[in-house]
């Protein structure tokens, strides 16, 4: 029975490779369309072209003679096409009666395919059922059982996309194609954007002080008017993406551009204390009590955060501020909070933050891969927000606008754990001092520093020396225990202290406490020296 190559998994998974003819087809497709196309659109069009070519070949082969079917009669000298033999064409050189009582009267035809092969014999005028009787020219070309181009792409998308991307990015004619904003087009379709145009765009952004779209920038950036407006926008977006002065932002409505140097430093590159390096540990050792504490903390890098999603309809939520976020004026994108902010797989999105106390509006920067929202340093300083404070996040009717607030209370001087850097031992030393607090906070989490620059230096030292969570927990836990007359320390306090010099979620900290024989779990999240 005939098996079309395009209907087999072996063809798309093992044999498919974009050829020079395929590349030319894609070139003409984009040239005729005069618009960018997604990779999926190119792939779908190419699959349809493969199906068209296959049908054209079949139609051409079928035109060379009668289609062989065992039930048909043939005469000497007649040309016959055999679809099941890859459309081999032969001449009938002999017809004789067949001899097989099981099939009744039938004929045997002898067919010569070429002069180098011996003639082959086939049944003809066969009255009994045979699979090849189902093969006819019309069905070969139009069969409802054949996979459509949509079905083929759905089944073999990974392999097709991989081959297509290789041809577009690294093939012999890769310089003819260019990707802009996830779509492909011909390089010749782009308007020329020279350095002068980009300098004007830089000046506009500097004067404006806010992100702008390519459409807005084109008011002053004068590109070739013979090119359509959509293509001028595409051309400028492409040129801006290639210049390191500019950074692309997302606001949900399309690409926005800003100057990289005008972004907050913590947006340009994640600070050391906001960069989590994965730590392996035996999670099975964590008690139910420790797992509950981990869930309450909802650390954006914690494993429990993945299962603590809050439905998007929830109007508000709250979090406890840890030292790394207080130090750099950021908020975590955790299980409970990320649904309040713009969503994206990577890059940076902008969001308008509204001060719940004073109503002031300011720019926020959602750093998706870093899992944090930057731009709150000034707000935290103005309101004297301490580490351990409860921060609330509330939705507004407008998209990309979020209210940031805290739980206020009468200002009062409170005891807090103050950390000091010990560079000789790469360690943290603690003492109790009073600090002014005017908001609600978790007393197990509140920590402060004698010098933020010293702790930054110590964090860098810890990283350079490769000091692990286990070592820091072993060092800071006795330091914290000595501050409490009861001779205990809460697990959350240890977590809070460790994060002053090494970014880590609660799990590895709790494991380090439970697995260290120097410490004894006395219940309610408290640990004492053995």
d(CA 405, CA 321): 12
Token readout for 235 is 């051309």
Does the pLDDT of residue 50 top 70, yes or no? yes
The whole-number pLDDT of residue 71 equals 87
SS (H, E, C) 60-77: HHHCCCEECCCCCCCCCC
- DSSP letters along 410-447, please? EEEEEEEEEEEEETTTTEEEEEEEEEEEEE-B-TTT-E
Question: pLDDT grade, residue 316 (50/70/90)?
Answer: very high
pLDDT tens digits, one per residue of 437-455 = 999 999 999 999 999 999 9
Please compute Rg for the chain using Cα positions: 35
Does the pLDDT of residue 307 top 90, yes or no? no
- 272-279+301-409: which CATH number, 3.30.300.30, 2.130.10.10, 2.30.30.50, 2.40.330.10? 2.40.330.10
pLDDT tens digits, one per residue of 176-199 = 999 887 889 999 889 999 999 999
> Domain 69-134 falls in which CATH fold?
SH3 type barrels. (2.30.30)
Query: How far separated are the first and last CA of the chain, in Å rounded?
Result: 79
Question: pLDDT grade, residue 82 (50/70/90)?
Answer: confident
d(CA 132, CA 84): 8
The whole-number pLDDT of residue 144 equals 62
Exposure class string for 210-245: b at 16+ Cβ within 10 A, else e: ebbbbebbbeebebeeebeeebbbbbbbbbbbebee
The whole-number pLDDT of residue 85 equals 81
Q: Is 185 left (phi over 0), alpha (psi -120 to 50) or beta?
A: beta
Phi/psi for 511 (5° steps) reads: -60, -40
Does the pLDDT of residue 512 top 70, yes or no? yes
Helix 39-62, helix 20-33: angle, nearest 10: 120
Sign of the four-CA dihedral 236, 240, 241, 246:
negative
Q: Which residues contact 521 (CB under 8 A, 6 or more apart)?
A: 287, 513, 514, 527
* Domain edges within the chain: 5-62+144-184, 69-134, 190-257, 272-279+301-409, 416-529
pLDDT tens digits, one per residue of 347-379 = 899 999 999 999 999 999 999 999 999 999 999
| Percent of the chain as helix, strand, coil, to the nearest 5 | 40, 25, 35
Question: pLDDT grade, residue 3 (50/70/90)?
Answer: low
pLDDT tens digits, one per residue of 320-346 = 999 999 999 999 999 999 999 998 888
The whole-number pLDDT of residue 156 equals 94
């Amino acid at each position: 029975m005939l098996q079309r190559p395009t209907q087999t998994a072996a063809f798309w998974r093992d044999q498919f490779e974009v050829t020079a003819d395929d590349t030319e087809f894609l070139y003409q497709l984009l040239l005729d369309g005069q618009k960018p196309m997604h990779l999926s659109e190119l792939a779908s069009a190419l699959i349809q072209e493969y199906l068209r070519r296959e049908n054209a070949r079949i139609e051409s082969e079928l035109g060379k003679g009668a289609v062989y079917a065992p039930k048909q009669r043939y005469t000497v000298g007649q040309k016959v096409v055999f679809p099941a033999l890859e459309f081999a064409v032969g001449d009938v050189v002999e017809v004789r009666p067949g001899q097989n009582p099981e099939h009744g009267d039938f004929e045997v035809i002898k067919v010569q395919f070429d002069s180098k092969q011996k003639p082959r014999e086939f049944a003809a005028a066969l009255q009994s059922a045979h699979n090849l009787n189902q093969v006819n020219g019309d069905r070969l070309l139009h069969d409802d059982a054949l996979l459509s181009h949509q079905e083929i792409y759905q089944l073999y998308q990974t392999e097709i996309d991989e081959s297509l991307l290789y041809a577009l990015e690294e093939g012999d004619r890769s310089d003819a194609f260019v990707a802009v904003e996830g779509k492909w087009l011909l390089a010749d379709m782009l308007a020329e954007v020279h350095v002068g145009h980009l300098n004007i765009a830089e000046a506009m952004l500097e004067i404006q002080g806010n992100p702008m779209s390519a459409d807005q920038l084109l008011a002053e950036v004068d590109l070739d008017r013979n090119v359509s407006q959509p293509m001028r926008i595409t051309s400028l977006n492409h040129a801006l993406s290639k210049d390191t002065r500019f950074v692309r932002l997302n606001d949900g409505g399309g690409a926005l551009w800003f100057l990289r140097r005008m972004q907050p430093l913590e947006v340009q590159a994640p600070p050391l204390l906001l960069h989590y390096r994965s730590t392996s540990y035996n999670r099975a050792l964590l008690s139910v009590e420790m797992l509950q504490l981990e869930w309450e903390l909802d650390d954006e890098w914690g494993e429990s955060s993945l299962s603590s999603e809050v439905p998007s309809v929830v109007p508000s939520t709250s979090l406890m501020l840890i030292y790394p976020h207080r130090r750099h004026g950021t908020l975590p994108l955790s299980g409970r909070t990320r649904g309040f902010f713009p969503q994206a797989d990577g890059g940076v999105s902008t969001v308008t933050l509204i001060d719940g106390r004073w109503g002031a509006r300011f720019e926020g920067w959602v750093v998706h891969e870093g899992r944090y929202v930057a731009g709150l340093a000034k707000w935290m300083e103005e309101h004297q927000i301490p580490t351990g404070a409860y921060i609330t996040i509330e939705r507004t009717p407008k998209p990309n606008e979020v209210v940031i607030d805290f739980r206020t209370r009468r200002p009062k001087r409170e005891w807090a754990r103050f950390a000091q850097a010990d560079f000789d031992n790469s360690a943290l030393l603690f003492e109790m001092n009073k600090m002014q607090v005017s908001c609600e906070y978790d007393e197990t989490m509140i920590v402060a520093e004698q010098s933020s620059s010293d702790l930054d230096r110590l964090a860098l030292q810890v990283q350079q020396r490769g000091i692990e969570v286990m070592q820091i927990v072993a060092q800071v836990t006795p330091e914290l225990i000595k501050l409490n007359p009861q001779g205990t320390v809460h697990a959350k306090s240890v977590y809070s202290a460790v994060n002053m010099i090494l970014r880590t979620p609660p799990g590895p900290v709790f494991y380090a406490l439970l697995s260290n024989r120097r410490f004894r779990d006395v219940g309610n999240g408290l640990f004492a020296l053995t």
